[in-house]
């Protein structure tokens, strides 16, 4: 049976580099992205950042909802929910 993708709410502050994960607060991962929220650039940068920290390829990270919102639901394939929360919980 295939593993369900991990899901994680993420609050993003775009256009305010450097790219970094700021940790979990109230069950939501907070991130800062230097790319502006134009033409999906901040969303792509967020997916690459999460993939790097989760140890999965960027193609394994997708924004499930909130493409045009500061709060997004991100799906990460190939990693367990508990593992992704542990890997992304602290400041990087």
Residue range 45-72, pLDDT digits in tens: 999 999 999 999 999 999 999 999 999 9
Residues linked to residue 21 through DSSP beta bridges, in sequence order: 31
DSSP reduced 3-state for 43: helix
Q: What is the pTM of this model?
A: 0.91
Q: What was the pLDDT predicted at 87?
A: 80
């Amino acid at each position: 049976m295939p593993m369900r993708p991990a899901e994680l709410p993420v609050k993003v502050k775009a256009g305010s580099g450097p790219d970094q994960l700021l940790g979990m607060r109230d069950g939501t991962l907070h991130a800062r992205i230097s790319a502006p929220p134009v033409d999906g650039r901040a969303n792509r940068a967020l997916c690459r950042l999460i993939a790097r920290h989760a140890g999965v390829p960027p193609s394994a990270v997708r924004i499930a909802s909130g493409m045009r919102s500061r709060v997004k639901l991100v799906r990460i394939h190939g990693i367990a929910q508990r593992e992704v929360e542990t890997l992304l919980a602290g400041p990087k």
